[in-house]
Every structure is written in structure tokens, then in C-alpha cells.
């Protein structure tokens, strides 16, 4: 917490530097250091001629303002921290890809720290971010990994992207049967508990989109393959059920899945054994959906002929899989960009806590079709 942890490389061992400073520029251009700053920063009250002379000198010397010195006096590091569970997950990589350009646009650098899927390590890397005096933090919270450690940065502008807190097994089991409004209330409670601004994917709307697509195709018996025991699963189920119920239908089944291809495949084998009574499956995400499709193929069940399958996210795989996956696309880049924007707003004005949910859009490919005649 307080001191630096023991570290492999001692401070004094690293090579020092001796770069061009503002004084060198001042000397060469024959003005004071103060004037150099003003000239370079575009301060209004400098003679155009002086400014030109200073800029020229700066360029000639290859002067580059020292970030650390500036940060020290201004109290602003012009750096934002990004805490991700792991950058290897293409989903978060995509979100990060949305953040970085938006930050760069305002001259902010992005310091990335990885939580390694472990709350303790996440806490440590958060410390690194804070030690670097980042001006703000964006936390990507997959499966609630980083969430419990979110309290310390308080006081520092913080935005959460894709908050997805774990839910109890009861809530997950009950998701199929509990009244939809109850589910939504539970979600609201979860969000309020965090007390931080948040940019997320509108899971409820996404569930609705998936369900509506299937109903429009003529499906009436639909199963849901749940993801991990987190809020997102509950909400997508709620969205699906909302549409189903308004069509006088109900979810035929909800099965525990997971979030990997393998788990999807295993669940698919379970789900698709002879005698199942649905014509379509909505899977929590694309990887799971792909697993189900693979299981179907192995079992000789035709997709979409006998069973339609819908996923969520629209990962790169979705379009390359065979059959290509119909899915509800999550606006990952946009979520990242919006989070950065929101963070800047927080840094500038004392903005109230805000929740923004970005909608998904249906991408129809080959894994869905009208149900078979007799179904």
C-alpha cells in the first residue's frame, strides 16, 4: 500500500539521460524559460516573432517537454489508466481499441494494466496505475473480476465498461421463472451498488433483439443457453422472456453453459439429444453458440434446418464459422470510445454518476432460418 514492493531492478542501475531542457531552448532563442513555455503552449501574449524564434530553437534542438516535470507542477499527468482482466481476450482488446484513439485525440496516453483474472493481482496493478498519478481510470469489468477493488480509486474519476457482477446461483436458476420486472430491479440494485459511471451493453435489449428475430422467423419454442453466473446472463434472459411473453410464449428451457467453445459444445450435446422440444437456441455468446453448432453437426442435427442458433457479441469467429453465426453484435469499439468520452467529462466537470447502455444490432448470417415444417 505504502512503500514500493521489492523489485528486481534497482532504480540507480538504469542508465540516466541528459536530454534537451527548456533552458537550452531559452538560451538558444535568447529569452527566459518562462517565455519558452508560453511560446510553445500557444499563450496569447507573446510576440509572434518571439514565438517563431522559440519554436525554431526548439525544433533545432529537438526539444521535447518532460512529461514528469510538467505533471509534477500541474498535477496532471495527461495519462489515463486502463485496467483489463486480460488484453488477450479479443473482446476487451476491441474495447481498448476504442479507448485509445479517443484518448489520443485529447493528447492523453493510455497506461494499460492487466488484472490477470485475479482480484489480488488486479488490486496490485491498480496501485501501479495510481502511483503513476493517472488522471482517470477506465476499468473493464468482466465477470466482476476487478469490481471488489473498485473502492480505492474513489476520488479519481473512474468509469467502468462492461460491468458484469456475479449473481447468486439462485438468481440464475430463477431467471427462467421469476417475473421479469423483478429481474430488472435486481439488476438496478447491482448497478447502484457500484456508485461509478458505467458504459455497458444493453443486455436486455440484446435479448429482445435475438428473441424477436427468432419469433419473426416463426419459432415458438426457444431454449436459452446461459453464460457464467453474472448479471449479463440474467438480463439477456429477461430480454428474451419479455418478447416471448408479449407473444404469449415462454422460454422452453434454460441450461447452464459457461463461456467457452468447449462448454458450448458439451451443453449442446446435452441439449440436443433426441426428444428436445425447441426449434431454436439462444446462446449467451458467440463462442458458446459456435460450440452448440459444432455439437449439432457431430450429432447430425442440421443448423439451421432443424435448429436455429443465435449468439451475442459478434466476435471475429462468428463470420468465419460454418455455418456463419447469426448474432447480436455488441458495439465494443463504441463502448470503449464512449467510456473515454465519459471519463473526460468526469475529469472536466463534476459530473454525476451515469449509466449508459449501448444497444446491439442484429447480424443475420446462416445459423438461423424458419423452423422445420412440422415443428
Rounded least distance, CB 137 to DNA, Å = 19
Residues in touch with DNA (CB under 7 A):
11-12, 18-19, 21-23, 30-35, 37-38, 40-41, 44-47, 49-51, 63-66, 69-70, 72-75
Binding mask 345-364 for its own copies (x = CB under 8 A): --xx-x--------------
In our burial notation (b when 16+ CB lie closer than 10 A, e otherwise), range 4-26 reads eeeeeeeeeeeeeeeebbbebbb
Query: Is residue 48 within the footprint of its own copies (CB under 8 A)?
Result: no
Measured from the CB atom, the residue of 12 and 349 that comes closer to DNA is 12
Q: With contacts defined by CB under 8 A, name the span among 187-195, 201-209, 223-231, 317-325 that binds its own copies.
A: 317-325
Binding mask 124-163 for its own copies (x = CB under 8 A): xx-xxxxxxx-x---------------------x------
Residue 99: enclosing H or E segment and its boundaries? Answer: helix 90-105
In our burial notation (b when 16+ CB lie closer than 10 A, e otherwise), range 301-312 reads bebbebbbbbbb
Q: Residue 109: which of 141, 87, 138, 77 has the closest Cα?
A: 77
Measured from the CB atom, the residue of 125 and 197 that comes closer to its own copies is 125
Contacts of 340 (CB under 8 A, 6+ apart): 80, 98, 99, 102, 103, 138
Residue 152: enclosing H or E segment and its boundaries? Answer: none
Question: Site for its own copies (CB under 8 A): which residue of 148, 320, 361, 372?
Answer: 320
Please give the Cα distance from 234 to 184 (Å, whole number): 9
Rounded least distance, CB 311 to its own copies, Å = 13
Q: Residue 63: which of 80, 39, 45 has the closest Cα?
A: 39
Rounded least distance, CB 35 to its own copies, Å = 13
Binding mask 191-230 for its own copies (x = CB under 8 A): ----------------------------------------
22-29 and 48-61 are packed helices; what angle lies between their axes, rounded to 10 degrees? 120
Residue 247 partner contact from DNA, its own copies, none using kind-dependent CB cut-offs of 5 to 8 Å: none
* Residue count, binding to its own copies (CB under 8 A): 87
Please give the Cα distance from 292 to 275 (Å, whole number): 17
Measured from the CB atom, the residue of 12 and 45 that comes closer to its own copies is 12
Q: With contacts defined by CB under 8 A, name the span among 7-15, 182-190, 212-220, 236-244 that binds its own copies.
A: 7-15
Residue 38 partner contact from DNA, its own copies, none using kind-dependent CB cut-offs of 5 to 8 Å: DNA
Rounded least distance, CB 105 to its own copies, Å = 6
Is residue 358 classed as helix, strand or coil in its secondary structure? Answer: strand
Query: Is residue 90 within the footprint of its own copies (CB under 8 A)?
Result: yes
Please give the Cα distance from 268 to 306 (Å, whole number): 14
Query: Is residue 74 within the footprint of its own copies (CB under 8 A)?
Result: yes
Measured from the CB atom, the residue of 18 and 88 that comes closer to DNA is 18
Measured from the CB atom, the residue of 127 and 173 that comes closer to its own copies is 127
Rounded least distance, CB 180 to its own copies, Å = 34
Q: Residue 326: which of 360, 375, 298 has the closest Cα?
A: 360
Please give the Cα distance from 232 to 278 (Å, whole number): 23
Query: Is residue 120 within the footprint of its own copies (CB under 8 A)?
Result: no
Angle at 78 between CA 21 and CA 88, to 5 degrees: 120
Measured from the CB atom, the residue of 183 and 315 that comes closer to its own copies is 315
Query: Is residue 59 within the footprint of its own copies (CB under 8 A)?
Result: yes
In sequence order, the β-bridge partners of residue 109 are 79
Q: Residue 54: which of 78, 81, 79, 34 has the closest Cα?
A: 34
Cell of residue 134, nine digits: 493517472
Binding mask 240-279 for its own copies (x = CB under 8 A): ---------------------x------------------
In sequence order, the β-bridge partners of residue 113 are 83
Question: Site for its own copies (CB under 8 A): which residue of 44, 48, 107, 300?
Answer: 107
Please give the Cα distance from 152 to 196 (Å, whole number): 12
Amino acid at each position: 500500500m505504502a512503500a514500493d514492493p521489492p523489485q528486481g531492478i534497482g532504480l540507480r542501475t538504469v542508465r540516466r539521460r541528459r536530454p534537451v531542457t527548456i533552458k537550452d531552448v531559452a538560451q538558444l532563442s535568447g529569452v527566459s524559460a518562462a517565455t519558452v513555455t508560453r511560446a510553445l503552449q500557444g499563450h496569447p501574449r507573446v510576440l509572434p516573432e518571439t514565438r517563431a524564434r522559440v519554436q525554431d530553437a526548439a525544433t533545432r534542438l529537438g526539444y521535447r517537454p518532460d512529461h514528469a516535470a510538467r505533471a509534477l507542477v500541474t498535477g496532471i499527468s495527461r495519462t489515463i489508466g486502463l485496467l483489463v482482466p486480460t488484453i488477450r481476450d479479443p473482446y476487451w482488446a476491441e474495447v481498448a481499441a476504442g479507448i485509445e484513439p479517443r484518448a489520443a485525440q485529447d493528447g492523453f496516453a493510455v497506461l494499460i494494466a492487466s488484472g490477470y483474472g485475479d482480484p489480488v493481482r488486479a488490486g496490485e496493478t491498480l496501485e501501479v496505475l495510481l502511483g503513476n498519478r493517472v488522471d482517470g481510470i477506465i476499468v473493464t469489468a468482466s465477470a466482476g473480476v476487478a469490481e471488489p477493488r473498485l473502492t480505492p480509486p474513489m476520488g479519481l474519476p473512474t468509469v467502468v465498461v462492461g460491468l458484469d457482477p456475479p449473481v447468486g446461483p439462485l438468481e440464475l436458476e430463477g431467471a427462467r421463472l421469476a417475473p421479469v420486472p423483478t429481474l430488472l430491479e435486481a439488476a438496478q440494485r447491482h448497478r447502484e451498488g457500484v456508485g461509478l459511471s458505467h458504459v455497458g451493453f444493453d443486455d436486455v435489449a440484446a435479448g429482445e433483439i435475438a428473441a424477436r428475430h427468432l419469433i419473426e422467423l416463426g419459432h415458438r419454442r426457444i431454449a436459452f443457453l446461459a453464460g457464467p453466473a453474472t448479471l449479463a446472463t440474467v438480463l439477456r434472459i429477461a430480454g428474451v422472456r419479455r418478447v416471448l411473453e408479449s407473444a404469449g410464449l415462454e422460454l422452453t428451457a434454460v441450461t447452464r453453459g459457461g463461456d467457452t467453445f468447449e462448454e458450448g459444445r458439451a451443453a449442446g450435446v446435452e441439449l440436443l439429444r433426441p426428444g428436445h422440444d425447441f426449434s431454436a437456441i439462444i446462446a449467451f455468446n458467440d463462442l458458446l453458440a459456435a460450440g452448440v453448432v459444432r455439437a449439432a453437426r457431430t450429432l447430425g442435427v442440421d443448423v439451421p434446418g432443424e435448429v436455429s442458433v443465435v449468439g451475442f457479441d459478434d466476435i471475429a469467429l462468428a463470420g468465419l464459422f460454418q455455418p456463419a453465426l447469426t448474432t447480436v453484435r455488441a458495439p465494443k469499439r463504441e463502448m470503449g470510445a464512449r467510456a473515454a468520452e465519459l471519463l473526460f467529462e468526469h475529469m472536466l466537470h463534476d459530473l454525476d454518476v451515469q449509466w449508459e447502455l449501448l444497444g446491439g444490432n442484429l447480424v443475420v448470417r446462416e445459423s438461423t432460418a424458419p423452423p422445420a415444417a412440422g415443428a
